[in-house]
Amino acid sequence: MDRSGALSRLRIVLSHPSHPGNVGAVARAMKNMGLADLALVAPRHFPDPDAVAMAAGGSDLLGKARVSSTLEAALADCVLAVGFTARKREISHPAQSLREIAPEIVAAAARSRVALVFGNETSGLSNEELARCQRLVSIPANPAYASLNLAAAVQIACYELALAADAFSAPRGGAGSAATIEDLEGLFAHLEESAIASGFLDPKKPGRFMERMRRLFARTGVEREEVKLLRGLLAAFDKPKRRK
């Protein structure tokens, strides 16, 4: 299964979007998550400078967006249409949660084109539009205020699907190599000697000092470079103090 190519076969369909700023923010959200295929059904204003401004580095998606007057045209070459809805409905297929359905969407998109369909900012998808979709999805949200901004909903959808497709690894910071047990034992021995030499620790009554230090360092996950740094510090403490 070509999971990595799945994102290129995911189409975001915005039906009757009112605000060009939202269309631009959707383009940015898509590009951030590696999607590129945007379709607009009867947008109120398009093209529009507000869309370009909000798209920022994703404005190339606006230039390539397909515009149609009907939802059918936007879905024609797709094998699966997934409608996003926040509302409970009486007559319709049951809505699944986004995370639940993400693997199925990615599996379908590994071979064929799949549409993710979002409705108008105020009214959402109509019952007629929902009936064109084979799956209904909802994004779990606060029942006291479940109305997500259009671009925010698209952002969450693209993020879930990029993760389900395992498209990008998270960038990692400068993780140094972890200290070995030998490094740590050297540090603990050095610490104990220094603590005794300083007069802080009485070797006849050591109490639980070293046990507590071991616990502290066990929790943190120490790097090799950090062990070197701490032993350098201990060596400096070990030296007789110079008079000021």
Which parts of this chain interact with a second copy (CB under 8 A)? 25, 28-29, 31-34, 56-58, 85-100, 136, 138-149, 151-152, 155-156, 159, 162-163, 167-175
Looking at the Cβ atoms of 105 and 195, the one nearer to a second copy is: 105
Query: If we measure between CA atoms, which residue out of 134, 133, 135 comes closest to residue 96?
Result: 135
Looking at the Cβ atoms of 168 and 237, the one nearer to a second copy is: 168
Q: State the nearest-atom distance from the C-beta of 169 to a second copy, in Å.
A: 6
| Cα gap 62→37, rounded to integer Å | 9
Looking at the Cβ atoms of 121 and 193, the one nearer to a second copy is: 121
The answer to whether residues 120 and 71 touch, using CB atoms and an 8 Å cutoff, is no
Looking at the Cβ atoms of 170 and 181, the one nearer to a second copy is: 170
Q: Tell me the C-alpha to C-alpha distance, in Å, between residue 236 and each of 64, 137, 172, 194.
A: 64, 62, 33, 10
| Cα gap 148→50, rounded to integer Å | 20
With tokens 């269309």, the residue in question is 23
Q: State the nearest-atom distance from the C-beta of 6 to a second copy, in Å.
A: 14
Q: State the nearest-atom distance from the C-beta of 180 to a second copy, in Å.
A: 18
Q: State the nearest-atom distance from the C-beta of 197 to a second copy, in Å.
A: 31
Q: State the nearest-atom distance from the C-beta of 45 to a second copy, in Å.
A: 18
The answer to whether residues 138 and 97 touch, using CB atoms and an 8 Å cutoff, is yes
Looking at the Cβ atoms of 68 and 92, the one nearer to a second copy is: 92
Q: State the nearest-atom distance from the C-beta of 201 to a second copy, in Å.
A: 29
Q: State the nearest-atom distance from the C-beta of 96 to a second copy, in Å.
A: 7
Looking at the Cβ atoms of 56 and 233, the one nearer to a second copy is: 56
Q: Tell me the C-alpha to C-alpha distance, in Å, between residue 174 and each of 169, 178, 227.
A: 15, 12, 16
| Cα gap 112→109, rounded to integer Å | 5
| Cα gap 38→11, rounded to integer Å | 6
Looking at the Cβ atoms of 130 and 201, the one nearer to a second copy is: 130
The answer to whether residues 103 and 3 touch, using CB atoms and an 8 Å cutoff, is no
With tokens 């201990």, the residue in question is 234
